Amino acid sequence: MTPHGEDELLRAGDVLAHRTALQEGPRGAAPQGVILCHQARWLGTVVSRWRSRRVGGFDADIRLLRSTNGRVAVVTRFGVGAPAAVALMEELVAFGVRRFVSVGLAGGLRAGQQPGDLVVAERALREEGTSGHYIPPGAAADASAPLTHRLGEALKLAGHSYVLGAICTTDAPYRTTRAVVERWSRAGGIAVEMEAAGLFAAASRRRVDVAAACCLADTLTPQGWRLAFDERAVATGLRSLFDAATEALQ
């Protein structure tokens, strides 16, 4: 892992400058906020119903939402997991973006949770590798408190209930053992996903704000993994998060 006090040899700004020299870089002003949407297909028509303008220069689908006068962009199709999400965030930070909301699906870790339940992260339990390149081992991976508060308020104003707490981030869902689930539960984890810890750690290093929220789909308990869930409830929950993220970033 990279020593945390050393300067990097390769920086995202250098990559953008190189693309610009090849006339392949992003143009125009950066949005003030970006929604990182990890499962866009579950949004249905929520993105297509908003008029948008595409931003080029990135290995992702980035669209400025015209209803926000270009202040907010939604990003999809950038890969799965913390390495992909953080690499893209690095480039967007170099472009000038200062606030991000990560929105996606997660597995529930507590009895009684239902598909469609909403979780807003105040911190992430680190079970992946990306965060270790940005913060020391054992350091907390915390969400931005002000942006998390704005996201929660937007959900409340829209009449959506949610749970605030710790979410777990893993690189290897197919290595989720009974002992791992029990450890996460003892540590206070209420859901598991694949990006938040890396995003929070990188944000602390780059001095930008990141919040994260997820809609519960499948469920993990020491007794097993329940894959079947109500797809309509999950799609509705994810759309609610998307709308709240849009409000929080304006």
Assigned domain for 213 exists: yes
Q: How many structural domains are present in the chain? A: 1
**Domain for residue 45, yes or no?**
yes
Inside any domain, residue 109? yes
What CA–CA distance (Å, rounded) separates 245 from 250? 9
Domain-embedded: residue 1 = no
The predicted-structure confidence for 123-137, as pLDDT tens digits, reads as follows 999 999 999 999 999
| Structural domain includes residue 160 | yes
CATH of the domain at 91: 3.40.50.1580
In a domain, 62, yes or no: yes
Which long-range contacts (C-beta less than 8 Å, at least 24 apart) are formed by 223-228?
225/107, 225/176
* Better pLDDT: 40 or 50: 40
pLDDT band at 247 (very low <50, low <70, confident <90, very high): very high
Alpha helices in the chain (DSSP H): 12-21, 82-95, 145-157, 178-186, 196-206, 231-248
What angle do the packed helices 196-206 and 82-95 form, to 10 degrees? Answer: 30
Using CA atoms in the order 197, 201, 203, 204, what is the torsion angle rounded to 10 degrees?
Answer: 140
The answer to the question of residue 6 being in a domain is no
Answer whether 219's CB lies under 8 Å from 102's CB. Answer: no
The parent domain of residue 141 ranges over 12-248
Whole-number Å distance between alpha carbons of 237 and 117? 7
**Are the C-beta atoms of residues 218 and 229 closer than 8 Å to each other?**
yes
Tens of pLDDT, residues 152-168: 999 999 999 999 999 99
Q: Considering the domain boundaries, does residue 5 fall inside one?
A: no
